Structure 1
C-alpha cells in the first residue's frame, strides 16, 4: 500500500513573526506592537508580499504616518524597527537600502522634573491607592527604577540588610544595583510577608509557577516554584498566561501604576505632565542636588552613556532645601 505523506501548510506571515519574536524571548508587548505595525505596513501597500517591496514602499508608509496620522518621531521609529525585524529576522533578507535608511530624529527635550515638595505631595496622595500600588509609586521615586523594572522585581533581588535592590536585565540587558531608602524598609518587609503568605497558598493550590524567560526555565527547571523567583508585586488574582495558557499569578498591571501616578499628581495640584518616569528623573535630579557625583548617578540609573545623565544634570541649578529619597 502506498503511503501518502502530507506536509503541514506553511505558516501565515504574522504567525512566523510571532514565532521569531518568541524564539528571541522578546516581551509580549513587543510582540503585539511589531505584529500590529507589520500588519499595517502590508495592508497599506495593498497586501503585497514584503519581498516585492523595497525602500520606496517603506518610505511612503513612514511618510503617511508622519503627515497624515501625525505620529511622533519615536512612534515612527517603532514602526521602522518592526519592518526591519520582518525583513532581517523573519524573511532573512539583507537588502542594501535597509542599512542606509535614516531614522526620524527625536526632538531633544529636557525631562520633566518635580520639586521635592511636589514629590512629597504626590506621594502623600498616592497613599490612597490600593496596595501595593502606593508602595510601588514610592519605590519608583526612592530607587530611580523604571516602571517595568519595579513591577517585575523578584524576591531574591531585594536586599533589605544592605538596603539595596538588584535590577536584573534592565534596559540594554544589563544588571545594576540601586539604593533602597531607609523609609521603605518596613513597607517592603510587610509586602514580602504578605507575598510569602500568597506563595504558601499558591503551593497548596498547585498554582505557584511564576513566569521565567525560556532560557532560565530550562536551566533551572524548579526555579518557577521557588520563593526567591516570585514577583514581589504580584497580582491579587490568578490569570491565564497568553502564551503558555498556564493559570498563575502575574505581576501587577503597570497601567494601574500609571493611572494612580496621574491621579495623585492631579490631587496634589501638580500641573506638569507627570508619569512614573517623571519620578525617575526627579530621583536623579534630587540626589545630584544632594551631592552625589554624576558617575554614581549614572550607575544607579543604568545609563549606558553619561550624556543621558548630563541631560538630567542640566535641570540641577540650586541645591534642594529638603533633600531626596523615598
Structure 2
C-alpha cells in the first residue's frame, strides 16, 4: 500500500481520536490542516516514517520562510505532538533547537465607554444584543454565538459559558439592560421551535452524544440556540439540524458598525471584550475577579489590561506634571 492511500486512513484516525477526546470542531479542523501541511511539506511521506528532525525542519520553514506568528507556530507544533502522542503512539524524539517565530509585544485596542455605546447604537436586533453581551459580559465571539436558552439566569443575573476556551465552564455578569432583549430573544426561540415542531421536528445541534442520552433535548426550549442560524443544515451524520449563527456574520456586522461609528482605531468583536476588561479595572474591580469573568487561565494574561490603562507604573508621574 503506498503512502497516498495511507493518508486518508491516517486522517480518519486523527479525527476519530480527537472526537473521543472531545476536542472542539475548530481545534479538529486546525490540527488536521497542520498535519496535512506537514505531510505535503515532506513530499507526502507517512508521518510514521518521520520524527523529530522532520518536525524541526517544518517548524523552521514556518518561521523563516512563511514568517508566521508565534502563536501559529505553536499551534502547528501542538498539532504534530498530538499526532505522534495520541494517534501514532510513537515517541516524537528530540526536536532540538529551531527558529522561534517572534511574539510581538502589542497592546490590545480598547474603546472608551462612550465609543462602545456608539458602536452598539449602529447595530440592531440580535446583532446589537450579541454586541452588548460581548461588551457587557466580556464574552468571546464564539461563546456568544453558542449561548443557549438554559445559559441565561435572570434571577441571579448571570450568564453561564459552557465549554469555553480550554473546554471550561464559567459564569459572568448579565447586564440588566440586556434582560428585556434577552426575554424577547427567548420568546423568538420558542416561536421558532413551535414552527419547526409543526413542520417536522428539526432539532438543534447538541454537544457530544447528548441526543442519544436525552432524545427530546434537541426539541426542548432549554437547549435552543439564543442566536440560531437562518436555516437548517446537515450534520456529520447527514441529519437535518439547526446550528447557531455563523461567527463571520457577527464579525461583519460589528466591523461595519465600528466603521460607521467613526472610531479613531480599527476594532473587532474582541475589542468589545477587551473594553469590558479595561472598564472593570478602571472602576476598581479586583484583577482576580476580572480574570475569572474573562475565563483567563493565568492572571498574567489579564494583566495586559493594566498596561493599557497605564496602571503599571506604581503611581509614577511625568516630570512635566
When normalised by structure 2's length, the TM-score is 0.88
Q: Report the 3-state secondary structure (helix = DSSP H, G, I; strand = E; otherwise coil) of the residue aligned with 2:171.
A: strand
Q: Report the 3-state secondary structure (helix = DSSP H, G, I; strand = E; otherwise coil) of the residue aligned with 1:252.
A: coil
Deviation at 1:161, TM superposition (A): 2.5
Do residues 208 (structure 1) and 205 (structure 2) align?
no
Do residues 197 (structure 1) and 194 (structure 2) align?
no
CA offsets, 1:6-33, max 9 Å, x none?
xxx9762112212222222222222222
Do residues 14 (structure 1) and 11 (structure 2) align?
yes
Q: 1:83 to 1:101 in 2, by over 3 A?
A: farther
Q: Which residue of 1 aligns with 2:109?
A: 112
Deviation at 1:220, TM superposition (A): 3.2
Query: What aligned pairs does 1:158-177 form with structure 2 within 5 A after superposition?
Result: 158-177=152-171
Q: Which residue of 1 aligns with 2:216?
A: 222
Asked if the contact 1:133–1:256 (Cα under 8 Å) also holds between the matched residues in 2, the reply is no
- Say which structure, 1 or 2, has more relative contact order (CA 8 Å, 6+ apart): 1
Q: Which residue of 1 aligns with 2:35?
A: 38
Q: Which residue of 1 aligns with 2:314?
A: none
Q: Which residue of 2 aligns with 1:80?
A: 77
Equivalent position to 1:134, from 128, 131, 142: 128
State the distance in 1 between where 2:189 and 2:39 align.
Answer: 46
Q: 1:273 to 1:59 in 2, by over 3 A?
A: farther
Deviation at 1:105, TM superposition (A): 5.7
When normalised by structure 1's length, the TM-score is 0.87
State the distance in 1 between where 2:100 and 2:238 align.
Answer: 37
Q: What is the total number of aligned residue pairs between the two structures? A: 306
State the distance in 2 between where 1:173 and 1:100 align.
Answer: 31
CA RMSD, 1 decimal: 2.2
Deviation at 1:246, TM superposition (A): 1.4
Q: Which residue of 2 aligns with 1:281?
A: 274
Deviation at 1:45, TM superposition (A): 0.4
Deviation at 1:104, TM superposition (A): 4.8
Q: Report the 3-state secondary structure (helix = DSSP H, G, I; strand = E; otherwise coil) of the residue aligned with 1:237.
A: coil
Q: Report the 3-state secondary structure (helix = DSSP H, G, I; strand = E; otherwise coil) of the residue aligned with 1:178.
A: strand
State the distance in 2 between where 1:215 and 1:250 align.
Answer: 16
State the distance in 2 between where 1:152 and 1:224 align.
Answer: 14
Deviation at 1:57, TM superposition (A): 1.2
Q: 1:43 to 1:157 in 2, by over 3 A?
A: same
Q: Which residue of 1 aligns with 2:316?
A: none
Equivalent position to 1:272, from 245, 265, 270: 265
Equivalent position to 1:248, from 207, 225, 241: 241
CA offsets, 1:122-181, max 9 Å, x none?
111123xxx422211111111001111111011111012222111112222222211111
Deviation at 1:43, TM superposition (A): 0.9
Asked if the contact 1:207–1:248 (Cα under 8 Å) also holds between the matched residues in 2, the reply is no
Where structure 1 has 5 or more consecutive residues not aligned to the other structure, the ranges are: 1-8, 319-326
Asked if the contact 2:122–2:260 (Cα under 8 Å) also holds between the matched residues in 1, the reply is yes
Deviation at 1:249, TM superposition (A): 1.1
Deviation at 1:199, TM superposition (A): 0.9
State the distance in 2 between where 1:95 and 1:61 align.
Answer: 14
Asked if the contact 2:63–2:100 (Cα under 8 Å) also holds between the matched residues in 1, the reply is no
Where structure 2 has 5 or more consecutive residues not aligned to the other structure, the ranges are: 312-321
State the distance in 1 between where 2:168 and 2:45 align.
Answer: 39
Deviation at 1:208, TM superposition (A): 3.5
Q: 1:91 to 1:102 in 2, by over 3 A?
A: farther
